[in-house]
Structure 1
Amino acid sequence: MHYSIGIDFGKDKLDICWLRDVRANKKKTKVFPNQRKEFEAIANWIRKNTKVEPQEVLITAEPTGVYHEACIYFLHEQGFNIYLANPGKAKQFTQAIGLVHKTDKSDAYALARYGTGKEDLELWQPEAPEVRELKALMRRLDALEKDHQREVNRLEASETADVSERVLQSLYDMVAVIESEIRKLKTDIDDHIVRHPHLKKNRQLLESIKGVGEVVSRELTYLFAAKSFKQAKQVACYAGLIPKLQESGKQRGRTSLSKEGPSRIRAKLYMAAVVATQHNPAIRSQYHRLLSAGKTKMQALGAAMRKLLQICFGVVKNQKEYMPQAA
Structure 2
Amino acid sequence: MLARSARIVHSDDKVKHRVLTYNFQEKIDRNLAEVQPESIDASQLDWRHFFHLKTMYEWLDKMAEKYPNRVTVLDMGSSTQGNAIKGVKLTSNANNKAIFIESGIHAREWISPAAATYIINQLLTSQDPKVQQLAQNYNWIIFPSVNPDGYKYTFEHDRMWRKNRQLFGTCRGVDLNRNYPDHWNSTGSSSDPTRYDYAGPSAGSELETKRLIDFIRANADKEQIKTYIALHSYSQMLMFPYGYTKERVSNYDDLQEFGKKASAAIKAESGRDYVSGSLFETIYPSSGGSMDWAHSEAGIPIAYTFELRGPPDSQDLFILPAVEIQPTASEAFTAIRTIVEAAAEKGYYK
Shorter chain as denominator, the TM-score bin is: under 0.3
Q: TM-score, normalised by structure 2?
A: 0.24
Greater C-alpha radius of gyration: 1
Q: TM-score, normalised by structure 1?
A: 0.25
Q: Which has the higher helix share?
A: 1
Higher relative contact order (CA 8 A, sep 6+): 2
